[in-house]
Amino acid sequence: MTPARSLDFRFLKAHVTVERVLEARGLLASLRLRGNNLVGPCPIHGGDAPNGFVVSRAKNLWYCFTRCRAGGDVVDLVCLLDRSSYRETALYLASLAGATAHRPAPPPPAFRPFTARLDLNPRAPFLASKGICPATARAFDCGLFRGSGFLEGCVAVRLHDPRGQPLGYAGRILDPDRARHGKWKLPARLPKRSLLFNYHRAHGHPHRGLVVVEDPWSVMRLAQLRIPAVALLGTALSSEQAALLAPCSRILLMLDGDAAGRLAARDLLARLAPTQVGVAELPDRLDPDQLDDHDLEAICRLFLPALAHHKA
Ligand SMILES: [Zn+2]
């Protein structure tokens, strides 16, 4: 059975608008109405061209005229924003449509964790370019996958559930052509909404505070500075992820310096209250892993003063 048939994409496309998805993520505020279209910077690639992204409300389609040079329907949009599989996307859209009650689908096959450890090359030039040294990559079970199959041509990094049980590997696609419609490969049916990358290592000292970033690379860079961090693997925060962060006394949001990162930070700031939350707004087009160690550390210690007492 194809996912399309079991989850009825035609029904979901007819019942969930592109506008509704953008609204649910707090992304609507950056768009403005022009005729019957919504126009604004592209939330997918995080562009800043004010007319780069257009939503046709009449056709329920979107298009990015700048970097993505791509468009599609509501399913394509969620797949790109969340880097999610078709099944995850369908379940998410069904939740927005309130559709599950009307269309009982057979229960999805359960996620099967992949527990074996892969042999990865921690000396990948991609990691070096992010300032991640081989020892750190090794400690995070991260490196270039040299075999064939699902992770072929990817820099892979191991994922764990919140208790530290291995779930498998996420793969960052290095070939820019293959990465055009999403940079990440995730295991099928990965329970992405209930995990935060590195949570099992970082959450042990809630009084120290926690830095929340988008990608594993920033987590590893911060680990080299002994600063505890978790990654969202994107910009969306699920209610399960928010619950994991709730016990933390102070949180610093350090998302990428683009429109998507800024909008997400605003959304997260509202949703994580009453935890003490700071937002580090990075300059345009700058991601945390592009900062040098000195700046990265200075920003974190400014927002999370308790870190100072634990410096090794
Ligand atoms: Zn775009």
Q: What is the pLDDT of residue 309?
A: 52
pLDDT band at residue 3 under the 50/70/90 scheme: very low
pLDDT digit string, tens, across residues 53-76: 999 999 999 999 988 888 999 999
pLDDT digit string, tens, across residues 110-157: 899 999 999 999 999 999 999 999 999 999 999 999 998 889 999 999
Centre of ligand 1 from the C-alpha of residue 36, in Å: 20
Centre of ligand 1 from the C-alpha of residue 45, in Å: 4
Centre of ligand 1 from the C-alpha of residue 70, in Å: 7
Centre of ligand 1 from the C-alpha of residue 256, in Å: 15
Q: Where are the domains of the chain?
A: 3-97, 120-190, 199-310
pLDDT digit string, tens, across residues 267-310: 888 888 666 888 888 888 888 989 999 999 999 988 887 775 54
C-alpha–C-alpha distance, residues 200 and 151, integer Å: 24
Centre of ligand 1 from the C-alpha of residue 96, in Å: 23
Please name every residue paired with 168 in a beta bridge, in sequence order, or none if there are none.
159
Q: Tell me what the mean pLDDT of segment 149-178 comes to.
A: 94
Centre of ligand 1 from the C-alpha of residue 234, in Å: 15
Q: What whole-number percentage of the chain has pLDDT above 70?
A: 92
Which CATH code fits 199-310?
A: 3.40.1360.10
Centre of ligand 1 from the C-alpha of residue 243, in Å: 31
pLDDT band at residue 99 under the 50/70/90 scheme: low
Centre of ligand 1 from the C-alpha of residue 48, in Å: 9
For 155, list phi and psi in degrees, rounded to 5: -90, 115
Centre of ligand 1 from the C-alpha of residue 209, in Å: 33
Q: What is the pLDDT of residue 312?
A: 42
Centre of ligand 1 from the C-alpha of residue 22, in Å: 14
Closest CA to 31 of 44, 19, 16, 15: 19
Supply the pTM of this predicted model.
0.65
Closest CA to 202 of 238, 167, 168, 160: 160
Centre of ligand 1 from the C-alpha of residue 54, in Å: 10
3-state SS, one letter per residue, for 23-88 = HHCCCHHHCEEECCEEEECCCCCCCCCCCCEEEECCCCEEEECCCCCEEECHHHHHHHHHCCCHHH
For 145, list phi and psi in degrees, rounded to 5: -85, 125
Domain 3-97 has CATH 3.40.50.2000: no
Centre of ligand 1 from the C-alpha of residue 108, in Å: 31
Equal fold, 3-97 vs 199-310: no
Please give the structure tokens belonging to residue 266.
Answer: 């605003």
Centre of ligand 1 from the C-alpha of residue 44, in Å: 5
Query: What is the CATH architecture of 120-190?
Result: Alpha-Beta Complex (3.90)
Q: What is the pLDDT of residue 201?
A: 94
C-alpha–C-alpha distance, residues 8 and 228, integer Å: 42
Whether 225 has a pLDDT exceeding 80, the answer reads yes
